[in-house]
Amino acid sequence: MKRTGLITKNDKTITQGSSIRIVLSCVIVLYVFLLGMPVISEIIRNEKSVQETFYLEFVFRYFEDSRMLYILPVVATLPYSSQLIDEIKGGYIRICLARTNRKAYIRSKLLTTFICGGEVLMIGAVLSVGAAFIIFSGISEKGVSEDGNLIRLIKLMILLFLLGGLYSLIGLFSSVIVNNRYLAWTGAFIIEFILLILTKRYLRDCIIINPENWLTGINKWPLSGWSVHLWIGILTIFVAGVSYKTVWNRIEQI
């Protein structure tokens, strides 16, 4: 067990986690291009040329698509959300707590879980931008670039990082409270699905708890879309606080 700043991790977990995150990020890239296959096929079939910034528009179109909600919660939770419940059920937590105090241990797990989940989605977006640039650069033509594309890309990257961290923490919380590692990977998706049903059938005016509006409506939120980042940040702090208390109580039962 090695402690560096706020995060305590062993070297094996770091190595495995890095490999898994890269693989899952590539899965996101494949999913994006799977969604965009009809557009790509049409361009190739009709031998069309595209604008110079089309690769960015391509990424924006599909990352802000509601169909991304099917994969993002699962991909974000796979790298690290089950780590805590695995250590609890496997008894390894006793060794960890012998080398550090409970507060530092829980804080480390929450922060690491948040970062791992956020990295997967953000790296997936970066790789998607790179892949789209390579694919479309050969058929693009010079045109007037839009000044807002860079800001829009930055907003998307930050939002994906925050969403990934939120999903990952929800997975951790779900697994601990139910004492089941499989909930670490499916808990965020289940909760998101419940929210979608509630907001579409019963709470139609509560748009801020509708996950579709977090992605597809990013440019419709106040403060030029930055308010959705603030909202996701508030949700993350809330989930982290509840998770902290839940994990603390769970460790007391060991």
DSSP string across 177-232: HHT-THHHHHHHHHHHHHHHHHHHHT-TT-GGG-HHHHHTTGGGSTGGGHHHHHHH
CB 55 within 8 A of CB 117: no
Region of 49 (left: φ > 0; alpha: ψ -120 to 50; beta: rest) is beta
| pLDDT confidence of residue 77 | 95
pLDDT digits (tens, 9 = 90+) for 115-124: 999 999 999 9
| pLDDT confidence of residue 16 | 47
CA-closest candidate to residue 227, choices 211, 209, 214: 214
What is the pTM for the complete model shown?
A: 0.89
Query: CA dist 44 to 48, 159, 203, Å?
Result: 7, 32, 43
CA pair distance 21, 113, nearest whole angstrom: 12
CB 39 within 8 A of CB 57: no
Residue 13 has pLDDT above 70, yes or no: no
